[in-house]
């Protein structure tokens, strides 16, 4: 095939896969996208999805997404083609909702519409915006309303984010714990703690942010990287997950003791970042010198965490600290409770929770995998057998690596077919697959240029 599109390396700021088009792309960046030749008209890109198909998260137009409480769609243990997308620059997999950024600067979404996560302004959604299943799902991509000139995006649990070329950040979907960052006066600290702030089904501007080049959506928080290398955070403060030092150990989890915020606050101690990522309860920053720093519970919630309002904070806390034992890092990505780093030599390292084999180091016995008792690691351990990676993406309880030959490897949780090997059984319409603590190849993919991991599924762009 005559490919007139050539891969270009851009900054990887995956929160679950984010691509930064800003000026801070470091040497040795690893997320691959496309640059246009003067003679090119359309990018030869195909988007593939696999894993959990609930609420139409696969986007292949092959199910009834709003049947039986939104679960009228099957999962897939092998990649299936997302319907109707061309000229795709990058993708972001959330939790039952997925997104694609097109070269024309528009964003498209598919899957679960709960809380306005699709961002398409569907009139059927507005009256039920704050209900659990009040907004319809879609099994084919729809355009996010009112967004243009987008250069980067990210997906959180039920909220999505976009950076426009003018450096502003926009959000849509769940705002119940301040995740929208728009400074809505109807979202007080007390309401954030009670999970009762309003959602939105169309993008709203994150308040006060300028000069942003990347964004990373987490479980109930979000982070933005600016052109000056600073990082800003907003949303629910769980164990100082916002990194601003307002939730010390043993503080009472309340509107006063660990104040959440629906406007951005600066992550302390980070001034020279070139990429960011979000974990389950905190964030990561890759600094220009090739080191990784984290805050909140991002290193992996190995210690039991009490998160009941009114109780004491027992989560791992503190300001941003360096992840020891890592240098020469070219990309960082956070899973739910495990962190991942790609080194310039093509190796991948992991630390934090070993649940479901998420460390990928082959140190978990078959019995421990079944019993879900794999060991954790406070320090980085090498993911087994990977020497030629060029991009990584951490998901719910596992991760993926894109190799230089265009193939994709996955490890960790495989219960919904998200490892993509096809080695699963279907019982009564449900996919039953096993976990893996060493990388396995995703079935049938070649010439992949970008990947994104979500809660229990993944996306890839083939081009």
pLDDT along the chain (463 residues), means of 10: 28 31 28 32 76 89 69 85 94 96 97 94 86 83 97 96 98 96 92 90 97 96 97 88 78 65 95 95 94 77 49 62 93 94 98 93 91 89 98 96 98 94 74 87 96 96 92
> Structural domains in the chain?
6-462 (2.130.10.30)
Judge whether 48 and 80 are in contact, CB under 8 Å.
Answer: yes
Looking at residue 38, what is its pLDDT? Answer: 30
* pTM as predicted: 0.87
Judge whether 447 and 79 are in contact, CB under 8 Å.
Answer: no
CA 337 to chain centre: 13
> Please, what is the end-to-end C-alpha distance for the chain in angstroms?
11
Mark 39-66 as b/e (b = at least 16 C-beta within 10 Å). ebeebbbbbbbbbbbbbbbbbbbebebb
CA distance 262 to 113: 22
Sequence-ordered list of residues with C-beta below 8 angstroms from that of 82, at least 6 positions apart, any chain: 46, 47, 48, 49, 58, 59, 60, 98, 100, 110, 141, 459
Structure tokens at 347: 């190796």
Structure tokens at 435: 């976990």
Distances (CA, A) of 56 to 65, 73, 396: 5, 6, 18
Looking at residue 249, what is its pLDDT? Answer: 62
Structure tokens at 281: 């309860």
CA 450 to chain centre: 13
Looking at residue 256, what is its pLDDT? Answer: 60
Judge whether 394 and 14 are in contact, CB under 8 Å.
Answer: yes
- Please state, as a whole number, how many other Cβ atoms lie within 10 Å of the Cβ of residue 166: 10
Question: Which single residue is written with the structure tokens 């942010």?
Answer: 209
In three state form, how does the secondary structure of the chain look?
Answer: CCCCCEEEEEEECCCCCCEECCCCCCCCCCEEEEECCCCCCCCCCEEEEEECCHHHCCCCCCCCCCCCCCCCCCCEEEEEECCCCCCEEEEEECCCEEEEEECCCCEEEEECCHHHCCCCCCCCCHHHCCCCCCCCCEEEEEECCCCCCEEEEEECCCEEEEEECCCCEEEEECCCCCCCCCCCCCCCHHHHHCCCCCCEEEEEECCCCCCEEEEEECCCEEEEEECCCCEEEEECCCCCCCCCCCCCCCCECCCCCCCCEEEEEECCCCCCEEEEEECCCEEEEEECCCCEEEEECCCCCCCCCCCCCCCECCCCCCCCEECCCCCCEEEEEECCCEEEEEECCCCEEEEECCHHHCCCCCCCCHHHHHHCCCCCEEEEEECCCCCCEEEEEECCCEEEEEECCCCEEEEECCCCCCCCCCCCEEECCEEECCCEEEEEECCCCCCEEEEEECCCEEEEEEC
């Amino acid at each position: 095939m005559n490919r007139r599109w050539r891969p270009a390396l851009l900054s990887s700021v995956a929160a679950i896969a984010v691509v930064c088009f800003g000026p801070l792309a470091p040497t040795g960046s690893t997320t691959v996208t496309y640059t246009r030749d003067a003679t090119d008209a359309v990018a030869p890109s195909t988007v593939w999805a696999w894993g959990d198909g609930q609420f139409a998260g696969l986007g292949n137009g092959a199910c009834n997404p709003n049947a039986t409480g939104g679960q009228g769609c099957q999962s897939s243990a092998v990649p299936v083609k997302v319907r109707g997308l061309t000229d795709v620059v990058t993708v972001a997999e959330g939790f039952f909702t997925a997104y694609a950024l097109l070269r024309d600067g528009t964003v498209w979404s598919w899957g679960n519409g709960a809380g306005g996560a699709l961002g398409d302004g569907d009139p059927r959604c507005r009256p039920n915006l704050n209900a659990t299943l009040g907004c319809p799902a879609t099994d084919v991509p729809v355009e996010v309303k009112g967004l243009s000139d987008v250069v980067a995006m990210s997906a959180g649990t039920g909220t999505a984010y976009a950076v426009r070329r003018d450096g502003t950040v926009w959000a849509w979907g769940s705002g119940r714990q301040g995740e929208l960052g728009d400074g809505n006066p109807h979202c007080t600290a007390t309401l954030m703690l009670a999970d009762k702030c309003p959602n939105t089904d169309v993008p709203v501007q994150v308040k006060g942010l300028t000069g942003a080049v990347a964004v990373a959506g987490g479980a109930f928080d979000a982070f933005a990287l600016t052109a000056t290398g600073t990082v800003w955070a907003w949303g629910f403060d769980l164990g100082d997950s916002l990194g601003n030092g307002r939730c010390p150990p043993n503080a009472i989890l309340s509107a006063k003791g660990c104040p959440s915020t629906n406007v951005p606050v600066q992550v302390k101690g980070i001034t020279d970042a070139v990429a960011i990522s979000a974990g389950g309860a905190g964030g990561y920053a890759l600094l220009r010198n090739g080191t990784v720093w984290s805050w909140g519970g991002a290193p992996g919630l190995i210690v039991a965490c009490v998160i009941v309002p009114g109780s004491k904070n027992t989560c791992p806390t503190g300001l941003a600290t360096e992840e020891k034992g890592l240098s020469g890092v070219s990309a960082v990505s956070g899973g739910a409770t495990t962190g991942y780093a790609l080194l310039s030599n093509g190796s991948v390292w992991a630390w934090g929770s070993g649940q479901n084999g998420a460390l990928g180091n082959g140190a978990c016995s078959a019995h421990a995998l079944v019993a879900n008792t794999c060991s954790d690691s406070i320090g980085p351990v090498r993911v087994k057998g990977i020497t030629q990676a060029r991009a990584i993406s951490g998901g719910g309880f596992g991760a993926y690596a894109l190799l230089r030959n265009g193939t994709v490897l996955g490890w960790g949780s495989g219960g919904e077919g998200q490892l993509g090997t096809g080695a699963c059984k279907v019982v009564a319409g449900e996919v039953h697959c096993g976990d893996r603590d060493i990388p396995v190849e995703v079935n049938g993919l070649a010439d992949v240029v970008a990947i994104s991991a979500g809660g229990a599924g993944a996306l890839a762009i083939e081009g």
